[in-house]
Amino acid sequence: MENASSVRVQVSPPLSVPGTRSKSGFWLVVLGAALWGVDPLFRLILLKSITSAQIVLVEHMIIALCVAPILWKNRRELLGIGWKQVGALLFISWGGSAIATILFTMGLANGNANAVLLLQKLQPLFAIILARFLLKESLPRHFSMLFILALVGTYLLTFGFEIPIGHWNDFVQVGSLLSLGAAALWGGSTVMGRLMVGQMKYETVTSLRFILALPLLLAVTWNEGAAWHLPSSASGLTAFSLNMIGQALLPGLLSLLVYYKGLTTTKASVATLAELSFPMVGVLLNWIAFQQLVTPAQIVGFVLIWAALFAISRQSNSNPASA
């Protein structure tokens, strides 16, 4: 098994000439993460019919059928990978794809939505810690200040200008604990994904993410033993199928293809901040789909997050300095 220093030699050099492509990679990560914002719309509807594990299993089966030809075409990339890469792939597929998605779905079903979403903003903390140890990444200039700025923005998007004195109990409920577990696994997957795109094409990593997760998801669903309560009417079944396919292909497959493409030229510690585009999309969807007006606090939060993203993007084509 390779040690951490050898991994640094393999993945730390830039994968493209610094410049425009580096900046575009950052914004591709932003776009891929933004597509995750439509995920709860599909997932909450599907939870009315089937369980969290069943949703994730069917989602992965649909995506696996789509990406299997890609994996077959790039199968030679699997030759010669080391134990470090195998561990990273299993972490991405079993932890970041299967278990984390189940935990997040269960969190939406069992917890306060505001608390669940706010706790997802802890992903950068997990990712930064792992990136420092595994990838030996330094941080952009003023990273700490920009990180705090982005977290303040996500707080305003979630709670507004109010201090959530009456919400603290939500953070120790089951839904919040499940969400915290998902945040840790997704934050770790950001780092592992950055390691793997230095070894394989991003399409191959995306394919393996879903295909390797299938055995674990089958075992989890089988052990759960829950009945499949599918709609009985033709119209209901059609609506369910369209929601399931939309869930799998839009916030599932498409978002990750865009995300991993951007990750090839973006550091993990920077990418995890770009993922904060997710709550902004959630605000816009609430406004469009549910006629929930954007509050002044949400506008301020939106501006703060994008200010942080813009500042980091300006640095993404230069040599980072320690914060």
Question: pLDDT tens, 93-141?
Answer: 999 989 998 998 888 788 666 567 667 767 777 887 788 777 777 777 8
> Is residue 121 in a domain?
yes
Please state, for a pLDDT cut of 90, what percent of the chain lies above it: 20
Domain count, the chain: 1
**φ, ψ dihedrals at 163, nearest 5°:** -85, 120
What does the pLDDT read at residue 66? Answer: 92
The more confident residue out of 291 and 64 is 64
Ranked by mean pLDDT, which of 2-16, 22-36, 111-125, 289-303 comes out on top?
22-36
Q: Which domain holds residue 191?
A: 27-142+167-272
Contact 255, 69 (CB under 8 A): no
> Is residue 318 in a domain?
no
What does the pLDDT read at residue 63? Answer: 92
Q: If you ran DSSP here, which 8-state letter would residue 163 be given?
A: -
> Is residue 315 in a domain?
no
> Is residue 246 in a domain?
yes
Question: pLDDT tens, 184-199?
Answer: 898 898 888 878 877 8
> Is residue 267 in a domain?
yes
- Three-state SS string over 284-298 comes to HHHHHHHCCCCCHHH
Q: What is the rounded CA–CA span in Å between residue 294 and residue 298?
A: 6
Q: What is the DSSP string of 184-245?
A: HHHHHHHHHHHHHTTTS-HHHHHHHHHHTTHHHHHHHHHHH-------SSHHHHHHHHHHHH
- Cα angle 323, 131, 145 (rounded to 5 degrees) comes to 30
Q: Show the DSSP H helices in the chain as ranges.
A: 4-11, 20-35, 39-46, 52-73, 83-90, 100-110, 113-120, 123-130, 143-159, 174-196, 202-211, 214-224, 234-247, 255-263, 268-274, 277-290, 296-315
The more confident residue out of 98 and 251 is 98
Q: Look at residues 241, 273, 271, 243 and name the one whose alpha carbon lies nearest to residue 258.
A: 271
Structure tokens at 146: 């920009």
Q: If you ran DSSP here, which 8-state letter would residue 322 be given?
A: -
> Is residue 120 in a domain?
yes
pLDDT of 242 > 50? The answer is yes
Q: If you ran DSSP here, which 8-state letter would residue 161 be given?
A: T
> Is residue 122 in a domain?
yes
What's the chain's average pLDDT?
78
Residue 91: pLDDT band (50, 70, 90) is: very high
Q: What is the rounded CA–CA span in Å between residue 248 and residue 46?
A: 12
Residue 69: pLDDT band (50, 70, 90) is: very high
Cβ-proximal residues to 244 (8 Å cutoff; 6+ apart), any chain: 42, 46, 55, 58, 59, 62
Q: Is the pTM higher than 0.85? A: no
Neighbours of 319 (CB within 10 A): 10
> Is residue 312 in a domain?
no
What does the pLDDT read at residue 245? Answer: 93
Q: What is the rounded CA–CA span in Å between residue 35 and residue 275?
A: 10
